[in-house]
Amino acid sequence: MSPAKFDADRRAVLAAVADVLIPKGDGMPSASEADAAGRWLDEVLRLRPDFGPPLAALLDTIKGSDPAAAVTRVRAEDPAGFGVLAEVVAGGYFLNPEVRSAIGYPGQQSVPIVHEEPADYEQDGLIASVIARGRVYRPTP
Partner 1 sequence: MAEEGFDRSPDVLIVGAGASGAVAAKRLAEEGFDVVCLEQGGWPDYTKARAPYPDYELTSGRDWGWDPNARSSPADYPVDDSESDITALMWNGVGGGTVVFAAHWQRNLPSDFRVRSLDGVADDWPFTYEDLEPYYVRAERDWGVSGLAGDTAFPPGEGPPMPPVPLGRMGRRVAKAHNDLGWHWWPGPNAIATQRYGRLNPCTQRATCLWGCSEGAKASVDRTYWPVAVERGVTLLTGARVKRLLVAPNGLATGALFVDRDGKEHVQRAGVTILACNGIGTPRMLLLSATDAHPDGLANSSGLVGKRLMMHPFGTVVGLFDDDLGSWQGAWGQHIHSLEFYETDASRGFVRGAKWGLQPTGGPLSMTHSYPWGEENAIWGPGFHQQLRKRLGRSAMWGIIAEDLPEESNRVVLDPMKTDDSGIPAARIQYRMSENSRRMMAFHQDRAKESLEAAGAYETVIAPFIRATGWHLLGTAMMGSDPSRSVVDPWGRAHDVPNLYIFDGSTWPTSAGMNPTATIAAVALRGVDHLIAEKRSTRTSS
Within 19-58, which residues bind partner 1 (CB under 8 A)? Answer: 20-23, 25-28, 43-44, 47-48, 50
d(CA 24, CA 88): 18
Which residues, including other chains, have CB under 8 Å from residue 123's CB and lie 6 or more apart? 116
Instruction: Supply φ then ψ for residue 77, to 5 degrees.
Output: -105, -20
Within 103-122, which residues bind partner 1 (CB under 8 A)? Answer: 103-105, 107-116, 119-121
> Is position 100 an interface residue for partner 1 (rule: CB under 8 A)?
yes
Taking CB under 8 A as the binding criterion, the range among 4-12, 15-23, 56-64 that sits at the site for partner 1 is 15-23
How far does the chain reach from its first CA to its final CA, in angstroms? 61
User: Of 31 and 56, which CB lies nearer to partner 1 in the complex structure?
Assistant: 31
Which residues form the interface with partner 1 (CB under 8 A)?
20-23, 25-28, 43-44, 47-48, 50, 71, 75, 83, 86-87, 90-91, 94-95, 97, 100, 103-105, 107-116, 119-121, 124, 126-127, 129-131, 133-141
